Structure 1
Amino acid sequence: MKFKVALFIIIILILAPVTIHANHHISSIEKLDQISDEALRMVKSSRYEDAKKLLEYFSNEFFTYTMENDVFSIDEKRIVTIAQNEAIEAMGDGSMNHDERINRVTKFRLAIDAITSSNQPLWTQMEDPMMTVLGGMKEAALQGENEQFHAHLNSFLSLYEVIYPSIKIDAPIQRVQNIDARINFIDEYRAKILSDDKSRQEIEVLEADLKALFDDMSEDEADPSLWWVIITTGSIIIVTLSYVGWRKYKGEKERERAKKRM
């Protein structure tokens, strides 16, 4: 009996540090995720200075955590650091509008979710707004609606930029590169896409590639508490970015006309 008691105590002593370490690991991961979520909430409420301080606090916490735990790859650390730096920069840029600041911090928020989530990453829930904008771009190209095509394409590029860090974290590098190549081709050869049927097929191939990517990553349900992020970002993309894309296109046309008059 004494031997069994002694053995039981020894097992407890051996397993206790492991259990404590595991709980510390979980709480640290959750803390990083919660900080990023709270930063986005602050930006949504226009509390830019508070959000900046919280993002800087995240930087210290993330550095400490990665120094103590070898759980993230070098690429993951680099992607998160870049997204975080862009978010901090946006908080201090007085010329940047509210919607663009939300986009910057949303990009950071989604990247953190991508490296900390064990289930379906939050960025996959952006499928509907992204495919809606892409569908509008395809329809405009088919109908030869030049201005609408440029506006939808610029909106699509803005949305893709928001989820791009998360895609690089979760998707195989070759798959990301293939999607990048198609998007770059469509962006660079806009006039050709509008005038050439064969080139226009690149939009359909891109649509299929993105659909397959979302389907492969969307096996579980997203955390219901994070749906407000999806709704907020989706509305920005569908409404605000469409206007921003249109304004960007008109600005480019004005610059081209100005150059011709010189």
Structure 2
Amino acid sequence: MKKLIVGISIFFIFFSFHHQKGLAKIDSETTLIEKSLSLVQEGDYVHSANLIEQFEVKYMENAKKNKDFTPKDLETISVTFQNALQTLENDASDSQEKIAKVLGLRLLIDARETSVQPMWKEMKNAVMTPLHNMDSAFERGNTEAYDIQLNQFLHQFEIIYPSLLSDLSYDEVKKINSLVSFLDDYRVNKEALPAFSQKLDQTQTELLMIFEQGNSIFPPATFWTLFTTGGIIVGTLCYVGWRKYIGERNKNKKQREHND
């Protein structure tokens, strides 16, 4: 029985090692995009684009061999790569737009590679704050403040949109995309639409649900593995304790019979 407990302990060590090894592999694969993001923040767009081009070749080659990637996934990733490169090479694009495109690419790669909490969910405050401010400005009738916050919201939403395409179902993306498009399309005559306030509220509700759904400190596979293994350990310890109790009881019974 001790050997069984030792074996289970070794399993935990083995599992933890491979889990950490998997995370290390992800870090290694994304080194180029991390460096590219750092360079674009420093204003070095040429070298940033060069690193992205290197990364694209390597990443897309591996992605095409991966059966988990659907044609739609490959298209989303390819388009996001090209948008980032075109923006970096476009002198008319400002620094914020260049950073946004590369950051969007980085978040998408993370969404595809990680099994834990995706990085794009860390953008919750950046997306939800201007959306909340839009609601306040609309209620006050401050059109200028509303437009400023709407532009900020659309900017932040565009950053996470490729990740949403990767992580959410088609219906979820379609629904939230329709709501965001409505806010953008009717920004001029929003006061004339009786249902505009409801659409604004609905957009906040839907996005909040998206950011909060599936939040967990463990990835699903890890959780169930630990849960199952933990159950085995608890069961084993209970079984050992029960057998020990039965053994001691029988021993005492024999001693009593012998004494009698």
TM-score, with normalisation over the residues of structure 1? 0.70
* Higher alpha-carbon deviation: 128-137 or 22-31: 22-31
What amino acid sits opposite 1:35 in the alignment? Answer: L
Aligned partner of 1:88 in structure 2 is 85
Verify the 8 A CA contact 1:124 1:218 in the aligned structure 2: no
Q: Supply the AA of the counterpart residue of 2:213.
A: D
Q: How far off its partner does 1:138 sit?
A: 0.5
- Pick the aligned partner of 1:111 from 108, 111, 118: 108
The 8 Å contact of residues 104 and 159 in structure 2, kept in 1 or not, is answered as: yes
Match 1:144 to one of 141, 144, 158: 141
Alignment partner of 1:101: what SS? helix
Closer, same or farther in 2 for the Cα pair 1:218/1:37, shift >3 Å? farther
Deviations 1:27-71 (A, max 9, x none): 764443222222111111222111111111012102321244333
Alignment partner, residue 118 of structure 2: 121
CA–CA distance in 1 between the matches of 2:20 and 2:196? Answer: 53
Change (3 A) 1:192 1:97: closer
1:66 aligns with 2:71: no
**1:169-217 deviation digits (Å, cap 9, x = unpaired):** 0011101111111111122122443344432111111101111111104
**Alignment partner, residue 210 of structure 1:** 207
Please tell me whether the aligned partners of residues 168 and 176 of structure 1 are also in contact (alpha carbons under 8 angstroms). Answer: yes
Percent same amino acid among aligned pairs? 25
The one-letter code matched in structure 1 to 2:207 is L
**Residue equivalent to 2:42:** 45
- Tell me, yes or no, if structure 1 residue 186 matches structure 2 residue 163: no
Q: How does 1:151-162 map to 2 (within 5 A)?
A: 151-162=148-159
2:161 partner letter: Y
- Describe the shift of the 1:139–1:195 C-alpha distance in structure 2 as closer, same or farther (beyond 3 A): farther
Is the 8 Å Cα contact of residues 107 and 163 (structure 2) preserved in structure 1? yes
Contact (CA 8 Å) 1:114, 1:121: kept in 2 or not? yes
- Partner of 2:101, secondary structure, is helix
Aligned partners of 2:64, 2:178: CA distance in 1, in Å?
Answer: 35
- Distance, in Å, in 1 between the alignment partners of 2:21 and 2:78 is 23
Deviation at 1:26, TM superposition (A): 7.2
Q: CA RMSD in A?
A: 2.3
**Distance (Å, rounded) in 2 between the aligned partners of 1:120 and 1:33:** 17
**Whole-angstrom distance in 2 between the partners of 1:123 and 1:110:** 6
Residues 118/59 of structure 1: CA separation in 2 closer, same or farther (3 Å cut): same
Aligned match for 1:175, one of 153, 160, 172: 172
Q: Distance in 2 between matches of 1:187 and 1:95?
A: 23
- Equivalent position of 1:236 in the other structure: none
Greater relative contact order (CA < 8 Å, ≥ 6 in sequence):
1
**Does the residue aligned with 1:142 lie in a helix, a strand or coil?**
helix
Contact persistence 1:32–1:112 (CA under 8 A): no
Aligned equivalent of 1:76, options 73, 77, 80? 73
Q: Shift of the alpha carbon at 1:163?
A: 0.5
Counterpart in the other structure of 2:235: none
Gaps of 5+ in 1: 1-21, 222-262
**Contact conserved, 1:192 with 1:199, CA < 8 A, in 2?**
no
Instruction: Work out the number of aligned pairs and report it.
Output: 200
For structure 2, which runs of at least 5 residues remain unmatched after alignment?
1-18, 219-260
